[in-house]
């Protein structure tokens, strides 16, 4: 990315010099067009390479990172492991009691090994902590600094940041809809809290507030997942859906069908499921009524 920023800066400066020179501004029109195309191509490569770096950390830092430890203890209705948890805990306690005497007899070598294990565990915890929403803001700040160091025009830097946010929004949106483990209230709540850190970063960095508009579809999706299990009436579902103007009917139906219930949540009424299917049917084009829905029907386009 740094080398791409370097060449983008050179191309921008050369184009600017040609336009300012009265003698060259007219005679080099064709060259200016070529330079403009090169700037666009270099910018596109910079965005692509930056998005690849964001892709490597977005899931761990924005989707899986949990700042509230209580959310890790949520049990789901489809999780068979919870039925064995009590017996597993009992067995573990029994095993700990049996091995406690033997552990007290460990020599100094075992103690050193224990210290080494704790150090490794601490290192892993630190690495896990690094994969937080702040990892995303640090990376975007670094990319902005690279552009600034080569005196790239501020408009290009803001445009690049807007594209980063749009990419993050689309990627998280699509990954939620294609992975059932994220289709639940607790995950939606945590992801929304992680997004708020990015929104705060925009405010603190004094960037245009309009950058956060890219998150609107994603925020509405998270809001729907947070309130879905509390809807106990078709009329309430209808009014709720009407407020989510950034979501289409395919996306709404997928949330209804793939929602992952916690053990304390009551499943949606069958009438609500039927109404969600009806919404999709009414909004389909005549030529595609019989077509089976594909991923592209509910995915956001990047």
pLDDT cut 70: percent of the chain above it: 74
Q: Is the confidence at residue 97, as pLDDT, over 50?
A: no
Is 238 within the bounds of a domain?
Answer: yes
Q: Which of 268, 258, 267, 261 is nearest to 75 (CA)?
A: 261
Tell me: the pLDDT tens digits for 13-42? 999 999 988 888 888 889 999 999 999 999
pLDDT at 108 (0 to 100): 42
Burial 99-138 (b: 16+ CB within 10 A, else e): eeeeeeeeeeeeeeeeeeeeeeeeeeeeeeeebbbbbbbe
Nearest-10 Cα torsion for 2, 4, 7, 9: -70
Q: Is the confidence at residue 291, as pLDDT, over 50?
A: no
Exposure on the CB side of residue 182, measured as CA atoms within 13 A: 24
Is 95 within the bounds of a domain?
Answer: no
Is 263 within the bounds of a domain?
Answer: yes
Is 44 within the bounds of a domain?
Answer: yes
Number of domains the chain contains:
1
Tell me: the pLDDT tens digits for 168-223? 999 999 999 999 999 999 999 999 999 999 999 999 999 999 999 999 999 999 99
pTM assigned to the model:
0.79
Give the domain extent around 220: 1-65+131-283
Is 265 within the bounds of a domain?
Answer: yes
Is 77 within the bounds of a domain?
Answer: no
Is 256 within the bounds of a domain?
Answer: yes
Q: For residue 111, what pLDDT band results from cuts at 50, 70 and 90?
A: very low
Is 81 within the bounds of a domain?
Answer: no
Q: Which residue has the higher pLDDT, 162 or 85?
A: 162
């Amino acid at each position: 990315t740094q080398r791409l920023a370097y060449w983008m800066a050179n191309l921008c400066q050369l184009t600017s010099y040609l336009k300012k020179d009265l003698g060259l501004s007219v005679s080099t029109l064709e060259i200016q067009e070529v330079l403009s195309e090169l700037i666009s191509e270099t910018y596109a490569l910079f965005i692509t390479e930056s998005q690849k770096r964001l892709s490597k950390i977005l899931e761990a830092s924005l989707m899986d990172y949990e700042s509230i430890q209580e959310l890790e203890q949520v049990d789901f209705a489809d999780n068979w492991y919870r039925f064995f948890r009590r017996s597993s805990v009992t067995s573990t306690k029994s095993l700990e009691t049996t091995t406690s005497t033997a552990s007290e007899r460990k020599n100094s070598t075992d103690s050193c090994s224990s210290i080494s294990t704790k150090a490794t565990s601490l290192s892993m915890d630190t690495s896990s902590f690094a994969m937080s929403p702040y990892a995303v803001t640090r990376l975007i700040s670094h990319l902005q600094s690279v552009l600034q160091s080569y005196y790239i025009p501020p408009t290009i830097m803001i445009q690049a940041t807007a594209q980063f946010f749009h990419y993050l929004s689309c990627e998280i949106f699509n990954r939620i809809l294609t992975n059932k483990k994220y289709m639940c209230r607790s995950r939606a709540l945590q992801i929304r809290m992680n997004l708020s850190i990015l929104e705060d970063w925009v405010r603190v960095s004094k960037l245009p507030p309009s950058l956060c508009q890219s998150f609107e579809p994603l925020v509405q999706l998270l809001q729907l997942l947070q309130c879905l299990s509390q809807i106990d009436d078709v009329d309430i579902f209808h009014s709720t859906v009407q407020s989510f103007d950034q979501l289409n009917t395919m996306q709404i139906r997928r949330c209804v069908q793939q929602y992952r219930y916690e053990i304390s949540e009551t499943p949606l009424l069958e009438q609500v499921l039927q109404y969600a299917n009806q919404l999709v049917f009414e909004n389909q084009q005549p030529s595609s009524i019989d077509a089976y829905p594909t991923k592209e029907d509910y995915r956001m386009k990047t």
